Amino acid sequence: MAYSYLNRDISWLSFNYRVLLEAEDKTLPIYERIKFLAIHASNLEEFYKIRVAEHRGVIMQKIHSEIDPAEAEQTLEEIRAEVTRQQSEFFRIFSTQILPELARRNIVLYMDGNVLPEHQTFIREYFKEEIFPFIQPVLLQKDDIRIFIRDNRLYQVAALRKKNSGETMYAILKIPYAKIPRFIELPAIDEKHFFIFSEDVIAANLDYIFNGYEIEGSYNIKISRDADIYVDDANIVETLKKKLKKRKIGDLSRFVYDRRMPADCLQYICEVLNIREDDRIPDQVHLNMEDLRKLPNPIGASLQSPPLIPLRLPELDRAQSIFHKIDQHDIFLHFPYHSFDYFLHFLMDAASDPDTEEIKITQYRVAPDSEVINHLMNAAMKGKKVTVFVELKARFDEENNLQTAEMMQAVGIKIIYSIPGLKVHAKVALITKKAHFRSGKKAYAYFSTGNFNEKTAQLYSDMAILTARKKLTQELALLFETLEFQKKENQFNRLLVAQFNLLPHLKFLIQREIDFARQGKPAHIMLKMNALQDQSMIDELYRASEAGVQIDLIVRGICRLKTGEPYSRNIRQIRIIDRLLEHARVWYFHNNGEEDLFITSADWMTRNLYRRIETACPVLDKTIKNRLIQILNLQLNDRVKTVPPTETKLQRQHAAKGSQEKIYELLKIL
């Protein structure tokens, strides 16, 4: 029987739709619901910059791909249809649920030009004093100097008629976000708080800008551009710097416009800006709705979710050094339920300990003004040998990674840059110390599913293990040696490392479960990840299902595997969308009761398995293993924040708790 698969991009759009539906959850505080609207819009913007741009590149034969141009065109048609549907849903939720709930809380967000008379004078004066000095209108004329529209910036098109001649003309204005807020607060009236979009203030004052013209209308537009950067040559730093300068002028991937725009105006604008019909996407009046996260909250904490207070681990807080505890047993951290401070202390203690000889760490995405980087620099300035493998090809973090690498180099840190043709996505650190009263050295390893980023560690649900087990620290040292000298034939026995033993061992683990199932023994696989896209690995799961292996999947985003088919009858898949972004990757194999578990940086996408350096760390501590199984089962039994991937509507139980809340309570008592 031939296997079939879901479309990758439509699968991702179904995930983003599930994000959107969180805004409908009336059990959430109103600003939490608004946050999900903003996330949906932001996700979609990145989707157009990367995925849609790639399909357009295939169609225009600008990039090489296994995808056929006709297939890419068909996918774009499906994307356009689905995005149009979701945009309608977005504004249905926003207009019929969010705005009325804000109004019930005495917060009014004006959505059109119909403002109260009490605010009209304020708007006029605010425009003249705060906005007008930064307005630079440009009259549009065909065959004139080409106007360049910047990526993801909001512009306003004004339709004008000359009073003396009656001639229609069009002008374009960039909304000066760098100088003014997107949402302008107006004077309160009777304890009601009022806000207005900055572009609506501009639209209400176009007569002040275009004296001598009648204003026929104004319409908001924006453009998304190809933001992907392809760098595979050896001179990666200089090449990347050059390409970063060109990112903002990449090829167009969509032109979004106010659907009220008259056809003649739209046609004129598109001719001037050289925009193809296939790239035009009608939308609502207000665009760039990811800015909703900036909507001020004049009421306060009662309209937002209470902060998640990170749990403390008393044994670590009482310890003289975190390394003493790691010597006794492995330590499990689950962010943001546990404080990220423990990792920072891991680095800080290493920097201050005179026995520390060397620190090695990977850098994929770090926070601006990163404490992690500060601790590494401090260690170097104290005479420790510090080596950082910097992955410059981390999408949208290339510039930050370049800057932090140069800062670290300035204090003597050894920087190893990207490997041509590969991304290093592993999240690992290794600290080596002098060993007293014994021969050799002592090493401490940190394996994580997420980045060394104290900002995202507050928002992303990730897992980490600290260990001093030689069988793991020695192999991690071997991995860093592999990265430093770009070796291609090292042997790993405990760690699973992409490009080396990860794929063969994964297939072995699946086959072992198949063999147990065929012997009539219990066979079970649980996989938690962000994306399941690679067709060959999906085939392995289909084969296992056909053999009778019970498979449970927790896949947050893309999932091309089709449930409900004869060959997937033993596969169950759920998706969890909740307050925290599910980011941890965990693999479980029953192994006839011996239970093998791994925490890992790798999703099952072709890029992770074939074009990246990833690590999967075996969980060897029985206590941690049992805890991870408890967490997986809590998520698999979640009936509040989960849905199968082919469903969207949540069956909300108002008094029930989702798995994230239950995990927090579980970790609190352990």
- Exposure string (b/e) for 335-365, b if CB count within 10 Å is 16 or more? bbbbbbbbbbbbbbbbbebeebbbbbbbbbb
Within 10 Å of residue 13's Cβ, how many Cβ atoms?
22
Cis, bond preceding 336 (omega within 30 deg of 0): yes
Which helix or strand (DSSP H or E) is residue 162 part of? strand 155-162
Measured CA to CA, the distance from residue 356 to residue 569 in angstroms comes to 53
C-alpha to C-alpha distances, 513 to 83, 420, 538, 547, 562, nearest whole angstrom:
40, 36, 15, 9, 20
Torsion of the alpha carbons at 203, 207, 209 and 212, rounded to the nearest 10: 150
End-to-end CA distance of the chain: give it in Å, rounded.
Answer: 47
Among candidate residues 40, 286, 338, 425, the one labeled active-site is 425
Report the sign of the C-alpha dihedral through residues 267, 269, 274, 277, in that order: negative
Amino acid (one-letter) located at 61: Q
Which helix or strand (DSSP H or E) is residue 374 part of? helix 371-381
Measured CA to CA, the distance from residue 591 to residue 549 in angstroms comes to 11
Residue 425 falls in the annotated catalytic set: yes
Q: What is the 3-state secondary structure (H, E, C) of 519-576?
A: CCCCCEEEEEECCECCHHHHHHHHHHHHCCCEEEEEECCCECECCCCHHHCCEEEEEE
Q: Both tokens of residue 284?
A: 């609502």
Inter-residue contact 16 to 558 (CB < 8 Å): no
Measured CA to CA, the distance from residue 334 to residue 665 in angstroms comes to 12
Measured CA to CA, the distance from residue 468 to residue 457 in angstroms comes to 23
Measured CA to CA, the distance from residue 634 to residue 552 in angstroms comes to 12
Q: Both tokens of residue 73?
A: 């065109």
Amino acid (one-letter) located at 257: Y
Measured CA to CA, the distance from residue 69 to residue 489 in angstroms comes to 38
Contacts of 247 (CB under 8 A, 6+ apart): 151, 225, 227, 229
Helix residue ranges, H only, 48-142: 53-59, 69-93, 99-104, 117-126
Catalytic positions are 425
